[in-house]
Amino acid sequence: MIFILAVPEHIGIIPDGNRRLARRLMKTPWKGHEWGVEKIKSVVEWSRELGIKVITFYLLSLENLEKRPKREIDFLFRLAKKEMESILNDEGHMIHKNRVKVRFFGRLELLPAELQEGMRDVMKRTKNYSGSFLNLAIAYGGRQEILDAARKIASDAKSGAIDPERISEETWRQYLWTNGFADPDLIIRTGGEKRLSNFMPFQTTYSELFFMDNFWPEMGKKDFTAAVREFGERQRRFGK
Amino acid sequence: MKEEGLHIGIIPDGSRRWAKLNNVAQGDWQQSGKTTDDIVRHVFTKHPEIDELSIWAMSTENVDRDDYSKNLVYSLLEGKLKDLLEIPLVEKSLKVNVVGSRLGDVPQSVKDLTDRIAAKTKESRGEKTLNICIGYGGKQEILDAVMSSSRWLRKNPTVAKIHKNVFEKFLMIPKPLDIVIRTGGEKRLSGFMLYQIEYAELFFVDTLWPDFSTREFDMIMDDFRKRERRFGK
C-alpha cells in the first residue's frame, strides 16, 4: 500500500537519455529508443495504479526532426509505425487492456503519410476509451505552437471572427495544439538535463519540475513513485 | 558551448520567508535590496560573458494584491531605481529596461523613475542590458504580443501570414535566455519568460534570495559551463 499525499492529475514527461544509455551499453544509439517505447508502456500502467489520469510524453521535437541524423529519424518512424500496427491489430495490447485514449499533437503534417494515417487510426480506435489519457507530442515545439496560434488568431481577427482587442487566455488556449486538455501538474525529465527544451512553455507555467539523473529506459517504478511522492510533499510545503 | 553573449534570468524568491526566519519585519526589504545590488554589480563587472540580465521584480499577479507588503516592494523599487540612476555603470555601458504589462498600475513615483532611466540609458552605446521586470508575466507578454500582431496584420492587409520576426518584435524581451536561476526552493517557473526559456539551463537553489551570494552565483556559472547543451541535436 503506497501512501501518497496528493497525486498529480496530469504528468508531463520528457523521456531523455535513450541514446546515451545505448551508447554506454555499446549499442547503436537509437536502439535506446526501442527500450524507451517499452518504458512508456510500463509508465502508463504504473500511472494507472497510482491514480494519475493523464500523461503527456514529449517524444519528438521539431528541433530533433531538423537536427537528428536521418537514420535515427527513419528508425523512429519505423518504430512508431510498428507500435501503431500493434495497437490496431492486437486486442491484447496494453492500450486496450487499460482503455487508454491516445492523442497525438504537434506538426503532424511533417511526418510520413503512412505514419499520419496510422496515428489517425489509433486515435479513432481509442476515441471512446476513458481509462486514462495518453498524449504524445510529436514534431512538437512550444514556440512554434505559440506562433501558429498567434497567426490563426491574427487571421481570425482580420476576418472579423474575433475581436483582437479582447483576447482572453481562455480564447487563446483554444488555438493551441493542446486545446482540450488541462495543464500538467508535474513535469518529469529523465537523463540529467535541467531544461524544458521547448516543451509546452505556456502550459507548464505552474507545473512542478522534477529532474532525474537516470536515463529514461533505466527509470524504475520506485523512481517514478518517488517523483510522484515528491510532488505531494511540495504541495504540502508550498501549496498552489 | 556558448561562452559569451549570455542572457541570465533571475527569479529572486524567498524574501518573505527570510524575513520570518530572521525575525525581520515583513516588508523590510533591505537585505533583498542589498543582494540585488550586489548581484547586478557582480554580473556586470565580473562576468564579461554575460550581456543581459533579467530580474523578475514583480509579477502581474502581485500587482493586484491589496497588500501592505506590495507597497513596500514599490518603495524598495523606488530606492533601487534611484540608486541605478546614480551609478556610472548605467551611464557608460548599461542599458536598463523596465518591462511589464501591468506597468500602468504601478505608482506614479515608480513610473517616473522608470521613465528617467529609460531616457538616460537610451543613448547608451552599451552592449549590456539590465531588464527589470515589474508587473510582468510571460503569459500576459504573449497575449499582448498576439494582440499587437493582430493589429499589425490589420494594418498590413497584403501580408498573408505573420512572420516569426514580427511576432517576436512584440515581445518585451526578445533575446532568448541561456540560464534561469530561481532562489527560494520552489521548482516551478511560474510563467517567467515562457517564449524565451526554450533551451535555457535551469538552476533551482534552496537559498532564500536575501542570502544568495555572489559566490553561489559564480558556482552556478561554473556548473553551467559543465552542462552539455544539445538544442535538440
Residue in chain B closest to A201 (alpha carbons) equals B194
Contact between residue A6 and residue A231 where contact means Cβ atoms under 8 Å apart:
yes
Report residue A69's pLDDT band, with 50, 70 and 90 as the boundaries: very high
Q: Look at A151 and B146 and tell me if their CB atoms are within 8 Å.
A: no
Q: Which residues of A touch B164 (CB under 8 A)?
A: 147
Q: Report the range of poorest mean pLDDT among A10-24, B5-19, B50-64.
A: B50-64
B126 touches chain A (CB under 8 A): no
Q: Please, what is the average pLDDT of chain B?
A: 86
Angle between helices B108-122 and B68-86 (to 10 degrees): 30
Report residue A165's pLDDT band, with 50, 70 and 90 as the boundaries: confident
Q: Look at B149 and A154 and tell me if their CB atoms are within 8 Å.
A: yes
Q: What is the DSSP letter of B187?
A: -
| Residue bearing the bigger pLDDT, B228 or B183 | B183
* Statement: residue B94 has pLDDT above 90: no
Report residue B95's pLDDT band, with 50, 70 and 90 as the boundaries: confident
* Domain residue limits, chain B: 6-126+136-226
User: Order of strands across the sheet with A132-140?
Assistant: A100-105, A132-140, A54-61, A10-14, A186-189, A208-211
- Closest by Cβ to A164, choosing from B147, B188, B228: B147
Residue in chain B closest to A185 (alpha carbons) equals B188
- Closest by Cβ to B195, choosing from A63, A143, A167: A143
| Residue bearing the bigger pLDDT, A202 or B41 | A202
CB pairs under 8 A between A and B: 119
ipTM of the complex: 0.92
Mean pLDDT of the region A189-201: 97
Mean pLDDT of the region B86-96: 68
* Statement: residue B90 has pLDDT above 70: no
Contact between residue B133 and residue B100 where contact means Cβ atoms under 8 Å apart:
yes
- Supply the pTM of this predicted model: 0.92
Angle at B191 between CA A52 and CA A213, to 5 degrees: 55
pLDDT score, position B188: 95
Mean pLDDT of the region B18-44: 85
Contact between residue B20 and residue B26 where contact means Cβ atoms under 8 Å apart:
yes
Contact between residue B161 and residue A151 where contact means Cβ atoms under 8 Å apart:
yes
* Statement: residue B213 has pLDDT above 80: yes
Share of chain B above pLDDT 70, in %: 86
* Statement: residue A193 has pLDDT above 90: yes
* Statement: residue B73 has pLDDT above 70: no
Beta strand residue intervals within chain A, DSSP E: 10-14, 54-61, 100-105, 132-140, 186-189, 208-211
pLDDT score, position B31: 87
Interface probe, candidates A194, A234, A236, chain B, greatest B C-beta count within 10 A: A194
pLDDT score, position B110: 80
Q: Look at A151 and B162 and tell me if their CB atoms are within 8 Å.
A: yes
B166 touches chain A (CB under 8 A): no
| Residue bearing the bigger pLDDT, A4 or A142 | A142
Residue in chain A closest to B229 (alpha carbons) equals A193
Report residue A99's pLDDT band, with 50, 70 and 90 as the boundaries: very high
* Statement: residue B222 has pLDDT above 90: yes
Contact between residue A215 and residue A18 where contact means Cβ atoms under 8 Å apart:
yes
User: Order of strands across the sheet with B201-204?
Assistant: B94-99, B128-136, B50-59, B6-11, B179-182, B201-204
Q: Look at B201 and A194 and tell me if their CB atoms are within 8 Å.
A: yes
pLDDT score, position B117: 78
Angle between helices A142-158 and B138-155 (to 10 degrees): 40
- Determine how many CB atoms are found less than 10 A away from the CB of residue B166: 20
Return the CATH superfamily for domain B6-126+136-226. Answer: Decaprenyl diphosphate synthase-like (3.40.1180.10)
- Closest by Cβ to B162, choosing from A150, A196, A209: A150
Share of chain B above pLDDT 90, in %: 46
* Statement: residue B71 has pLDDT above 80: no
Angle between helices B214-226 and B30-46 (to 10 degrees): 50
Mean pLDDT of the region B37-59: 90
Contact between residue B136 and residue B97 where contact means Cβ atoms under 8 Å apart:
no
B220 touches chain A (CB under 8 A): no
B144-179 pLDDT per residue, tens = 999 999 999 989 988 888 999 999 999 999 999 999
B104-159 pLDDT per residue, tens = 777 888 888 878 877 777 776 668 899 989 888 999 999 999 999 999 998 998 88
Angle at B31 between CA B28 and CA B37, to 5 degrees: 125
B169 touches chain A (CB under 8 A): no
A214-236 pLDDT per residue, tens = 999 999 999 999 999 999 988 87
B30 touches chain A (CB under 8 A): no
Question: Cα B104 to chain center, whole Å?
Answer: 18
Report residue A42's pLDDT band, with 50, 70 and 90 as the boundaries: very high
Chosen CATH of A10-238 out of 3.40.50.920, 3.40.50.300, 3.40.1180.10, 3.90.1170.50: 3.40.1180.10
pLDDT score, position B19: 87
pLDDT score, position A2: 56
pLDDT score, position B15: 86
| Residue bearing the bigger pLDDT, B32 or B185 | B185
pLDDT score, position A161: 87
Q: Which residues of B touch A234 (CB under 8 A)?
A: 186-187
Question: Which residues of A touch chain B, with CB atoms under 8 Å apart?
Answer: 61-64, 66-68, 142-143, 146-147, 149-151, 153-155, 157-158, 164-165, 167, 169, 172, 193-198, 201-202, 204-210, 234, 238
Q: Look at B190 and A206 and tell me if their CB atoms are within 8 Å.
A: yes
B181-205 pLDDT per residue, tens = 999 999 999 999 999 999 999 999 9
Instruction: List all residues 6 or more positions away from B112 whose beta carbon is below 8 Å from its beta carbon.
Output: none
Q: Which residues of B are known to be catalytic? A: 13, 62
Query: How far, in Å, are A172, A225, B149, B170 from residue A154 at the CA level?
Result: 11, 44, 7, 13
Q: How many CA atoms lie within 13 A of A178 on its CB side?
A: 29
Q: Which residues of A are known to be catalytic? A: 16, 64
* Domain residue limits, chain A: 10-238
Distance CA B210, CA A46 (A): 41
Q: Look at A209 and B187 and tell me if their CB atoms are within 8 Å.
A: yes
Report residue B1's pLDDT band, with 50, 70 and 90 as the boundaries: low
